Structure 1
Amino acid sequence: MISRTTIDNVFETARVEEVIGDFVQLKRSGSNLKGLSPFTDERSPSFMVSPVKQIWKDFSSGKGGNVVAFLMEHEHFNYPEAIKYLAKKYGIEIEETEQSDEQKELANERESMYLVSEYANKFFQKKMHETDEGQAIGLSYFKERGFSAETIKKFDLGYSPDDWEIFTKTALDDGYKLEFLEKTGLSIVKENKRFDRFKGRVMFPIHSMSGRVLGFGGRILSNTKKAAKYLNSPESDIYHKSKVLYGIYYAKQAIAKEDNCYLVEGYTDVIQFHQSGIENTVSSSGTALTPEQIRLINRLTKNITVLFDGDAAGTRASLRGIDLILEQGMNVKVCPFPEGEDPDSFARANNEDELREFLEENSYDFITYKASLLMDESKNDPVKKAGLIRDMVNSIAKIPDNIQREVYLQECSRIMDISEDVLYATLAQIEKKDNPSSGGSKKRKMEVVKEESTPKVKIDHLYILERNIIKILLLYGNKEEEFEDLLLKQNEDTGELELEPEKQSSKVFEKIYLDLQEDEIAFSNEDFRKLYQLLITKLNSEDEVAIENIINDLETSQSKEVTDILMQEEQYELHNWDRHDIPVKNKEQTVNQFVSQTILNLRRHLIDKKLNELLEDIRIAETEDERTDIKNEVMGFNKLRTLLSDRLGRVM
């Protein structure tokens, strides 16, 4: 177990904006930071981080919490893994007791697969650096590719010996289970035989965005025709090829900083670019580009520059991927290399300044490049030209943003020397074919859609009111305020109940506590009940209550509620809560007004609930005397409700 001292040290040191900034591009928004949700596919930012409160909230998925909660949600870490990740990031020494064999046995399957992958990563590095075979074959290959010792170390490059079972046997001898060696694909088991998957290959470990080893790519160096040149780990519970980009762990900060991502094809392209100083580079690892991979980049930047080989096959393959990038709402440029060159070879032959200059001068907007390319292919053949124009409009049709589509169609019209009306008509045909239910028109027009009547959502008034009390305690609990209490008294002349004003000063939490005690009000929501007890205890015993410290010690459901409360203050203004008798403090309203309004509304809500119960009692009463007694009780509650309503009018 990790010691409490280490956990406290991690929370004191870690900054939520720095940690999340490694995964999501954040931009300043007042005192907060905003970015695209890493949990949903969105194009407008709804992900908010508060450096002051050290919490985050994703309004599109509803998730939120502290820095550890983010890592648990985003990287699927358990609590100890998240603490260890933060400790490593901030150079904090971890104090923990030795795990017993029983505790190791209880480690979940997913974590076991991560541990096996990390073990393999170290094994391959050791075999390359510390054996004659590894140095002669693996290390010499990487050096021939021009990789420096620092680069080889940075990317954890290694070598798997040319032996059928050396890795599997060593791993088993070191206590790792064959079950997880097989599930990660590192070992192959057939008819009671077991052997290594990556026999005689140089190894490229594939990392997640947080730096965990997910799988491997292995390149064979011999000329045998029986074995594939490149071999990747198979799909597993921790490795999904379609959701991983090679180099993303090393490139994420540079991508966010440069606000652009260079997309290449292979492992060595990525490594060579990083070594040349172009660190905002990733690859799809030789697989076809997928929407999940593009969305991974979309969290860090909206701009992708696709780099491809100068040969015709590389050009066509890259152009196919462009449509997919456009479909995800990204801005895309293309940069072709000279004939016979690829990113790896070109970076080796040029220094950083020359490489950057080349990329800048030869990166074209996709529509400009595709038009020039297709025009060269079609020459003076009108039939080919017509087909190629349709190809370009097909690409434009993928763009979700109407304005961007409009601009690209105009640009296409200018480059191809064809009227805009024809292009709009072609676009309408394509859209109609893709979506038969939608009609087409010669020119795209903004459609006015009538709002359909939607069923009214039933609002849980009690939940909102209890939540508001927790919100008040969190934001204003220790604040000293002057409250005007109305004491319920009987008029000596008329005998009627009246509210007599009386002013007194007290802390907000004391006012709430005494009022709820007086009315014997208990919270109906279990999380709010626990939070209320915790906050009242802390506010009563501590002069200053640090909200971030409270969040760190809460259960997951309670932590989520607190985060929602702290981060949704701005969002409440989007809802017409006053119409539902649910008070929301606005900028002009004083704290004592907000407190009084909330408590009075809670009292009135509970009276309404009691009145409904009494009316039901009247319906089922067996005698007239019973009905008369209940009716008198109803009259009393109705008078009290009227008094509360009058008081609410004064407060509001």
Structure 2
Amino acid sequence: MISRTTIDNVFETARVEEVIGDFVQLRKSGSNFKGLSPFTDERSPSFMVSPVKQIWKDFSSGKGGNAVTFLMEHEHFTYPEAIKYLAKKYGIEIEETVQSDEEKEQAGERESLYLVNEYAKNYFHSTMLKTELGKAIGLSYFKERGFTDETIDTFQLGYSLDEWSAFTDTAIKKGYKLEFLSKTGLTIVKEDALTAAATKTFDRFKGRVMFPILSMSGRTLGFGGRILTSDKKAAKYLNSPESDVYHKSKVLYGIYNAKQSIAKEDRCYLVEGYTDVIQFYQRGVKNVVSSSGTALTPEQIRLINRLTKNITVLFDGDAAGLRASIRGVDLILEQGMNVRICTFPEGEDPDSFAKNNSLDALQEYLDSQSQDFIAFKASLLAKEAANDPIKKAETIRDMVVSISKIPDTIKREVYIKECSRIMDISEEVLFNTLAQLLNKSSKESSKSAPPTSQPFDVIPSPKEQVKKVDALYELERKIIELLLLYGTKEEEFEDLILETDEKGNIAFTPEVVSSKVFEKIYLDLQEDEIEFANEDFKVLYSEIISKLNIAQDFQVNTFINDLEADKANAVSDILMNEEKYVLHDWARNLIYVKEKEEGVSQMVNETILNLRRHLITLKIKELISTPIVNGAYEDKSVLETVRDYNTLHSILSEKLRRVL
């Protein structure tokens, strides 16, 4: 168990905008930050972070909360793991009791896979640095590649002994189960053909140098292993198999070390291999990641897209592989990203070029040799077409296909004009070709869409178009919001006292009283004996009132930190509800929204009066729905009660008009 002191220190120190900024590129928007949702595939920002309230809200997925809940949602951390991650990030010492065998046993399967991978990473790293064979073989290899001790430590590089089950045997002795060693792919388990009961175990990565593959938050997902012998039957590079924690198509090697630099530089360099990443990082270009030798996938691109819109793809000087590799560019364009391409001289790759050049020379080369994708593709394909008209036509069409992938209409037109200039062909022909491609893509999309039950477009009736609003839910939610935002605020409230003159006419006499918002709400609800209908709001209301009564300096972020994840999500949803309008940037269109603080007392009075009036309406409906016998209500007092309630409803409506 982590001590309460540690948890409190973490919450006091951690800044939600800094924590989320490691995973999402955030841009200032008034007093808040906004960015692309890390939970859905979107191209316009719907993700808001409030530094003042220390909460976040994702309007596209409905998720929200504080820094801890973000890590739990995004990285699938447990609560203790999220606290430990933040403690490590902010250099806070963790006070906790030793985890018992029983607690280890109760850890979930997914967590067990992470624990096994973490142990393996440390084992391989230690084996390389502290054993004679590790130093002689593994460490020597990395030293020959020019990697420093600091770099080896940063990337936690390691070595797996060239023995059949050295790692597996040690791991089992340490208490790690064979079941999870097998599921992570670290151990290969084979049943004996003679007896199903007997099994043989083998280390998957035996005799290989090891490259741990980390998630964006630094969790060990899997491994890449390079063989050091010239065995032609064995693959040069071997990756962990797919598991519950490792999905090759959704991971980028080096993203953990590169994320902050990518966001800061607002650019990502994409290479092919592990050593390309490491060599660039060591030279000083840290905003670099690798697809680990696999074909680039939309999931990997979206991972980069959270941090920057700008990506430069780096290819080595092998012209033969360029045509195949460049296909991944279309996938990047589809995500609305800005793509540049840079190739290295023949015989060079990112690894060797970074190793043999200074940081200034490397940076100067990347800046001067990077080309816009359309110019690069034109030069590459034009060489192949030479003087062949047919091949030239195919080349032009290939370029227009790439342009058609760009979602932004303006960018498409700019690239069409550029293509026209480079390839010496009329813009009209290119625009017609583009229109054909877009039309074809639209038809294919509509064919693949699920069929509807109606053959024609049916315009729904007005009743169907309007979504029914649960007024009671909205009013109770509004009270929670007022308590959270302005609970301790001292305000002057105008109470309207109902009086009757000598002639029986009703009149309202204003009386100004000063009190805190939470006291006003609590006393008014108590006076009418109003209880919340929504159970979640009822619990929240009770907890908030209790905290406000005790704590003189009530802080929303502190209150949220003590809530369970689902309640924290609900509170952040309430608090950030109106922040979504910031996303539309009304001020840019000269539309200015009135600040809530300008009329807190009015909002409080208006909400309570509306709640009272709504509850009376419900009560009237309930009364008039009672059984009628022989044309009259069984209970003779029903009509009189309904009349009294209607009178009260009118009085409250009059009060409400006076408030507004």
Per the TM superposition, whether the score is higher than 0.5 is yes
Once the two structures are superposed, what CA deviation does each residue of 1:299-320 show, in whole Å capped at 9, x if it has no partner?
0000000000111233113210
Measured in 1, the distance between the counterparts of 2:435 and 2:161 equals 58
Q: Secondary structure at the match of 1:60?
A: coil
Q: Per-residue CA shift, 1:364-408, capped at 9, x if unaligned?
A: 000011112111211111111111111001101111111111111
Q: CA deviation at 1:436?
A: 2.5
Separation in 2, partners of 1:362, 1:408: 20
Aligned to 1:182: 182
1:510 aligns with 2:510: no
Alignment of 1:630-645 (within 5 A): 630-645=638-653
Q: Distance in 2 between matches of 1:208 and 1:601?
A: 50
SS in 1 for 2:326: helix
Q: CA deviation at 1:165?
A: 0.6
Which consecutive residues of structure 1, in runs of 5 or more, have no partner in the other structure?
A: 440-449, 576-583
Following superposition of structure 1 onto structure 2, how do residues 24-63 of structure 1 map, counting pairs within 5 Å?
Answer: 24-63=24-63
Q: Which amino acid counterpart does residue 637 of structure 2 have in structure 1?
A: D
Q: Is contact 1:498-1:643 (8 Å) kept? A: no
Correspondence 1:147 to 2:144: no
2:90 maps to: 90
1:236-264 Cα offsets, whole Å, 9 max, x none, are: 00100000000000000110011000000
Contact 1:306–1:318 under 8 Å retained in 2: no
Cα distance change, pair 625–378 in 1 and its aligned pair in 2 (3 A): closer
1:267 to 255, 262, 274: 274
Match in the other structure for 2:656 = 648
Q: What does residue 449 of structure 2 align with?
A: none
Return the offset for 1:20. 1.0
Deviations 1:473-532 (Å, cap 9, x if unpaired)? 1111122222222334555533x6654433322221111111101111001112211121
Kindly tell me: are residues 17 and 452 of structure 1, through their superposed partners in 2, closer, same or farther at Cα, counting changes over 3 Å? Answer: farther
Q: Give the direction of change, closer, same or farther, for the CA distance of 1:107–1:625 in structure 2 (3 Å limit).
A: closer
Residue 471 of structure 1: aligned partner = 481
- The letter for the 1-side match of 2:218 is G
The alpha carbon displacement at 1:626 in A equals 3.4
Q: Is the 8 A contact 2:48 2:580 kept in 1?
A: no
Is the Cα contact below 8 Å between 1:499 and 1:643 reproduced in 2? no
1:604 corresponds, among 593, 610, 613, to 613
Q: 1:624 aligns with which of 632, 638, 644?
A: 632
Q: Which amino acid aligns with 1:645?
A: S
One-letter amino acid matched to 2:181: L
1 CA distance for matches of 2:629 and 2:67? 57
Matched AA of 1:183: K
User: What is aligned with 2:115?
Assistant: 115
Q: Does 1:326 align with 2:333?
A: yes
Question: Counterpart of 1:555 in structure 2: which amino acid?
Answer: E
Letter in structure 1 aligned against 2:139: L
Shift of 1:46: 1.6
- Whole-angstrom CA distance in 2 between matches of 1:355 and 1:574: 39
Q: In structure 2, what residue type is equivalent to 1:149?
A: D
CA displacement, residues 181-216 of structure 1 (integer Å, 9 cap, x when unaligned): 000000010101111000100100000000111100
Amino acid at match of 1:258: E
Secondary structure, counterpart of 2:637 in structure 1: helix
Q: What is the distance in 2 between the residues matched to 1:344 and 1:437?
A: 42
**Percent identity between the two aligned chains:** 70
Change (3 A) 1:588 1:515: closer
SS at match of 1:533: helix
Which letter maps to 1:13?
A: T
Provide the rounded CA distance (Å) in 1 between the counterparts of 2:614 and 2:490.
27
Could you tell me how far 1:113 is from its partner in structure 2? 0.8
Higher mean displacement: 260-269 or 145-154:
145-154
Q: Matched residues in 2 for 1:226 and 1:119: separation?
A: 29
Q: Aligned to 2:440, which of 424, 430, 433?
A: 433
Are residue 76 (structure 1) and residue 76 (structure 2) matched?
A: yes
Give secondary structure in 2 for the equivalent of 1:71: helix
Partner of 1:486: 496
Answer whether contact 2:481 2:575 (CA < 8 A) is retained.
yes
Gaps (5+ residues) in structure 2? 192-198, 447-456, 585-592
Moved more, 380-389 or 629-638: 629-638
Instruction: Report how far residue 451 of structure 1 moved.
Output: 12
Mapped to 1, the partners of 2:14 and 2:52 lie a distance apart of: 13
Shift of 1:126: 1.4
Q: Structure 1's 588 and 10: CA in aligned 2 closer, same or farther, altered over 3 A?
A: closer
The answer to whether 1:169 aligns with 2:192 is: no
Aligned partner of 1:592 in structure 2 is 601
- 1:223 maps to 2:230: yes
Q: What's the offset of the Cα at 1:273? A: 0.4
User: In the aligned structure 2, how far is the partner of 1:427 from the partner of 1:385?
Assistant: 17
Moved more, 133-142 or 360-369: 133-142
1:340-373 residue CA offsets vs partner (Å, 9 max, x unmatched): 1110111111111000010000000000111121
Q: Which residue of 1 aligns with 2:367?
A: 360
Aligned-pair distance for 1:621? 4.8
Task: Measure how far apart 1:160 and its partner are.
Answer: 0.4
Moved more, 101-110 or 503-512: 503-512
Alpha-carbon distance between aligned partners in 1 of 2:516 and 2:256, rounded to the nearest angstrom:
49
Please say if residues 432 and 438 of structure 1, whose CA atoms lie closer than 8 Å, have aligned partners that are also in contact: no
Measure the CA separation in 2 of the matches of 1:304 and 1:79.
34
Aligned counterparts of 1:527 and 1:599: Cα–Cα separation in 2 = 19
- Preserved contact between residue 259 and residue 300 of structure 1 (Cα < 8 Å): yes
Q: Bigger CA drift: 25-34 or 105-114?
A: 25-34
Q: CA separation in 1, counterparts of 2:33 and 2:615?
A: 39
Match of 2:207 in 1: 200
1:4-15 to 2 correspondence within 5 Å? Answer: 4-15=4-15
Name the SS for the 1:590 alignment partner. Answer: helix
Q: Report how far residue 296 of structure 1 moved.
A: 0.2
Structure 1: distance between partners of 2:158 and 2:180? 21
Aligned equivalents of 2:100, 2:516: Cα separation in 1? 50
Aligned-residue Cα RMSD (Å) equals 2.0
> What does residue 555 of structure 1 align with?
564
1:384 equivalent to 2:399? Answer no
1:409 aligns to what?
Answer: 416
Is residue 542 of structure 2 the alignment partner of residue 542 of structure 1?
Answer: no
The question of whether the paired residues in 1 share the 8 Å contact of 2:48 and 2:579 is answered with no
How many Å separate the matches in 2 of 1:484 and 1:268? 71
Contact 1:128 1:134 in 2 (8 A): yes
Higher relative contact order (CA 8 A, sep 6+): 2
Equivalent in the alignment of 2:590? none
Judged with a 3 Å threshold, the aligned counterparts in structure 2 of structure 1 residues 252 and 483 are, in CA distance, closer, same or farther, namely: same
**Contact persistence 2:374–2:399 (CA under 8 A):** yes
Deviation at 1:620, TM superposition (A): 3.8
Instruction: Select 1:526's aligned residue among 535, 544, 549.
Output: 535
Report the Cα offset of residue 455 of structure 1: 2.2
- Conserved 8 A contact 1:186-1:233: yes
Contact 1:260 1:305 in 2 (8 A): yes
* TM-score, structure 2 normalization: 0.92
What CA distance in whole angstroms lies between the structure 1 residues aligned with 2:59 and 2:527?
37
For residue 111 of structure 1, report the CA deviation from its aligned partner: 1.0
Q: 2:7 touches 2:83 (CA, 8 Å); kept in 1? A: yes
Aligned residues: 632
1:55 corresponds to which letter in structure 2?
A: I
Give the aligned partner of residue 283 of structure 1: 290
Paired amino acid for 2:124: F
Structure-2 separation of matches of 1:275 and 1:348: 9
Deviation at 1:557, TM superposition (A): 2.5
